[in-house]
Structure 1
Amino acid sequence: MTGVLVLVGTLVLGVLTGTVLSLRNGRIRRPTMSGMSGMSAVSPSDPAPPPAPVVDVLTPGAVTLVQLSTTFCAPCRHARAVLSRVAESTDGIAHVDLDITDRPGLAEALRVLRTPTTIAFDDEGTELLRISGVPKIATLREALAPHVRLTE
């Protein structure tokens, strides 16, 4: 009987953990200093500029979606497809993929705990939003709308 209870408890815990992780995947978080409601917030970005590898890839006059990936990250391919599609179909948005496999310092500086993580920066290096996991196109476009002119 004890073994059955342990098994049931383990299964329930596994299902709950999977559900929570699934709900968090692709969720968009914005810095709290932006004052936007309806989205989960992250702590305000430091006033310091982003690390040099990020500054080097920012596109002047555009919002740059900086995707942080690792070599063996399967969801990173799906995120890359979504982000590329949004960037190609929207004026004022660029997409860059940075491999952080051998750059743990960059991941630490950007407070990245998992891949894929995408951070949207304006052309001055200000963090606009952050996504852990694979974003949904409609949700991403809605979140970017205040920062760019969206076209279909």
Structure 2
Amino acid sequence: MTGAWALLGAIAVVAVVAVVLRARDGRVRPAGAHAAEAHADLPAPVRALLDPGTPVTLVQLSTTFCANCRRTRTVLEELADRTEGLRHVELDVTDLPEVAATLGVLRAPTTLALAPSGAELLRVGGIPKPDALVAALRPHLPGPIG
């Protein structure tokens, strides 16, 4: 009987963890006060992706075998295609663990919205929720978001 209780307890713990992770997936987090100052420490592979003429670059950090990365790419590409001043790029960090560690990225996909200076404006872990991402990006873009 003790084994059955242990099994039920383990199932309950897994269910709670799954609910918490699902609730956090796609949530837009504004950059903290430290992020605006930390752009000097931006890793070179990320810095190379920035375009000084684009107000916001969405840098999607992905890995080779990430199923959610493909869906995230689709969401971000569609948003960038219809939005003036927004650019989407993808960086595969499978072989660049130091880049992920420097940026404090613990999961793939993670999307960083960066200003031309490299300052982090916001970040999204998981597949972005388009409406929440649009609302968060609006103050940083010059024109309407399509």
- Scaled by the length of structure 2, the TM-score of the pair is 0.91
Q: Which residue of 2 aligns with 1:20?
A: 20
Q: Which residue of 1 aligns with 2:70?
A: 77
What is the Cα deviation at residue 47 of structure 1?
5.1
- How many residues matched? 142
| CA distance in structure 1 between the aligned counterparts of 2:74 and 2:121, rounded to whole angstroms | 21
User: 4+ runs of 1 displaced by more than 6 Å?
Assistant: none
What is the alpha-carbon root mean square deviation over aligned residues? 1.2
Give the counterpart letter for 1:53 in structure 2.
P
Deviates more, 1:47-56 or 1:19-28: 47-56
- Scaled by the length of structure 1, the TM-score of the pair is 0.88
Please state which structure has a larger fraction of its residues in helix: 2
Note if 1:8 corresponds to 2:8: yes
Report the identity percentage. 48
Q: Which residue of 1 aligns with 2:107?
A: 114
Residues 40 and 118 in structure 2, CA contact (< 8 A), matched pair in contact too? no
| CA distance in structure 1 between the aligned counterparts of 2:68 and 2:96, rounded to whole angstroms | 19
Structure 2: tracts of 5 or more residues without a match: none
Residues 82 and 135 in structure 1, CA contact (< 8 A), matched pair in contact too? yes
What is the Cα deviation at residue 50 of structure 1?
1.4
Identify which of structures 1 and 2 has the higher relative contact order when contacts are C-alpha pairs closer than 8 Å and 6+ apart: 2
Structure 1: tracts of 5 or more residues without a match: 34-43
Residues 138 and 145 in structure 2, CA contact (< 8 A), matched pair in contact too? no
